[in-house]
Amino acid sequence: MTFQYDNVYINATSTVAGPYEAKGPLGKLFDKTYEDLYNGEKSWETAEVQLLKESIDILLKKANKKKEEIDLAIAGDLLNQITSSSYAIEELNLPFLGIYSACATSTEGMIIGASLIDSGKIKNCITATSSHNMSSEKQFRNPTEYGAPKPKTATFTATGGACLYLSNEKSKVRVESSTIGRPIDMAQQDPYNMGAVMAPGAADTIYRHLTDLKRQVTDYDLIVTGDLGVYGKEILIDYMKTEYGIDISNNYDDCGTMLYDLEEQKEVMAGGSGPVCSALVNCSHIIKLMEQKKLKRVLWVATGALFSPTFVYQKENILSIAHAVSLEVVE
């Protein structure tokens, strides 16, 4: 399912990131960074809520809007019952849609927001997402102090909160079209190789997007996936070639490999992951490059592994999903 939009603009973005992201190559581009993973809170979970809350505050300042002027907040995260999002939005007293597509949550929110704005139902909205390395480790893996050895294909959940302010008021960058992804099962069961889980999901969405709009890869200056990591990136390039005969290698990158310095920051293994991973990279870096007209059209394909520890222990496959939004410079 692909939509095209006429009047949806990105007016402002905001990013708040943790210590590992601050040390990465994009460290200086974030609006705010923390040196401590607790950022002054008592637990990992409340620390994540705080990151998201702060990124929304910064967003409102940057967009020069009062919270009363916001029609809708759409947010999602990785924690059970998407609590980080609801607790962060509660104080703002806004109409709220909580959403979940694992690490593809960021673009899912944008698709919902853009569709509502384009149809005239709302004038503007905030789309927000967050993740926290430690709260995710605690929920999905082992206690954070355990330090269990991981294989090289493992990815590292990014810490931060990132938001976009979308509206029908003209700005430098617009949301031009979007494609809603489908859950994909490629019989993958390894939670330490999420790149392999998600690559077919990304490929399916990219292929559908291009065929629905009768476009070529070269119509985009950049195609970025969310968090496939080093090995998932290789798999996607290979998969697109063998399955669809499409070569994306010339203008393709992955946010998981852009967020960290993979040579220096060995602890991130194959790269970053988590819903905030692609949001941090796009909101701090890529959208800014577009505002400077260094990139004209970008396809942001956030990739999610719909992973449940319970299902994995029950020997079920891990599903993946990817939602794409196409961003375009307003001439």
Partner 1 sequence: MEKKVYENLVSQHKPTETRAQNAFIAFVTGGIVGVIGQLLIEFYSYNLDISTQDASVFMIVTLIFFASLFTALGFFDKWVTFAKCGLLIPITGFAHSMTSAGMEYRKEGPIFGLGSNIFKLAGSVILYGVVSAWFFGLLRLLIMGG
Residue 308 contacts partner 1 per CB under 8 A: no
Closer residue to partner 1, CB minimum distance, 37 or 125 = 37
Using CB under 8 A, pick the residue from 234, 253, 261, 291 that binds partner 1. Answer: 234
Site string for partner 1, 241-280 (x = CB under 8 A): -xx-------------------------------------
**Residues of span 124-163 touching partner 1 by CB under 8 A:** 138, 142-149, 151-153
Q: Which range, of 80-88, 122-130, 232-240, 281-289, touches partner 1 by CB under 8 A?
A: 232-240
Residue 81 contacts partner 1 per CB under 8 A: no
Q: Which of 302, 295, 267 is nearest to 21 (CA)?
A: 267
Q: Sign of the CA dihedral 109, 113, 119, 121?
A: positive
Closer residue to partner 1, CB minimum distance, 91 or 267 = 267
Other beta carbons within 10 angstroms of residue 243's beta carbon come to 12
**Residues of span 41-70 touching partner 1 by CB under 8 A:** 42-43
Q: Which range, of 68-76, 155-163, 229-237, 275-283, touches partner 1 by CB under 8 A?
A: 229-237
Using CB under 8 A, pick the residue from 193, 225, 278, 326 that binds partner 1. Answer: 193
Closer residue to partner 1, CB minimum distance, 186 or 217 = 186
Using CB under 8 A, pick the residue from 9, 34, 231, 260 that binds partner 1. Answer: 231
Enumerate binding residues for partner 1 (CB under 8 A): 42-43, 138, 142-149, 151-153, 186-188, 193, 196, 200, 231, 234-235, 238-239, 242-243
